[in-house]
A = this chain, B = another copy of it.
């Protein structure tokens, strides 16, 4: 058992898989000698050398494509895209190439790769702090994984690298410095599994990434201040989505809250609420409520803090809804 930061957990997972499988390679801007802009790949270049850990030019299309071509023909590339917002400059690969090749070729082409994105708020402003998990969830054929803790980073990133499908792996920038206990030895988790982090009987709160610790803190306060006992579920994976765990929780609590960092419209919360409203309508004891960032671009620095769902906002929304 060691205490690791979320950022070190990234490097640990990649190292674990690179040691195991010589076809795993890592590429991206400043990912090698510099150890990544977020220092999440420090040491890998030294350990695995310039053949397996490669710096790229500012050519997101070229290296997304290169990863895909390599994946199609036998390698298992892990790509560092740096800020998640940069998905927009190579979106063609996310939307049109990675997820469609297997289908269009009736299974002939396989695209086993992992694209790592530094997602979410961190005070850099409108073009560097977007949460793009819903961009990815919209696209059939992708898998979308969003860890909230160092141990999940290790296990889910390892599972993503071993997965035979294209996986978008969204690391949260504001979690990189967060520490957590991680067991020694090989860790491989399972994609498509949500985790109940706090059992509760009055309401189900779903969250992802940075919103997970906030949902947990809110649940503690709701319990202490108002006696409201919330079940907090870390969704962890948007594709595949663990609807079973979600629907089962809801059937016990009767109330659903989603805590999303992506801007309000068409987020993963909307998807989950719609599934629940359709399939578990009669389990609902009240309106399912989404707590989201408003549908506006993000300002930088301190202003950002006011827009992202906070512990206060979660507490107030849940309390107001349940005591309405």
Contacts and interface: CB of A to CB of B under 8 A. Distances in A.
Among A140, A265, A277, which residue has the most Cβ atoms of chain B within 10 A?
Answer: A265
A290 to B, nearest CB: 6
A190 interface: no
A297 interface: yes
A104 B92 contact: no
A262 B266 CA distance: 12
Contact of A91 (B91, B130, B269): B91
Contact of A270 (B125, B270, B286): B270
A100 B278 contact: no
A271 B275 CA distance: 11
B270 A278 contact: no
A85 interface: yes
A289 interface: yes
A92 B100 contact: no
Contact of A278 (B140, B266, B290): B290
Contacts of A277: 273-274, 277, 284, 287-288
14 contacts: A87-B91, A88-B96, A91-B95, A100-B126, A103-B126, A103-B299, A135-B135, A138-B262, A140-B295, A140-B297, A265-B271, A270-B270, A273-B273, A281-B286
Interface residues of A, number: 51
A35 interface: no
Interface in A192-209: none
A261 to B, nearest CB: 13
Interface in A76-116: 85, 87-89, 91-92, 94-96, 99-100, 103-104
B126 A297 contact: no
Nearest to A285: B281
A142 to B, nearest CB: 10
Contacts of A281: 284, 286-288
A288 B274 contact: yes
A296 interface: yes
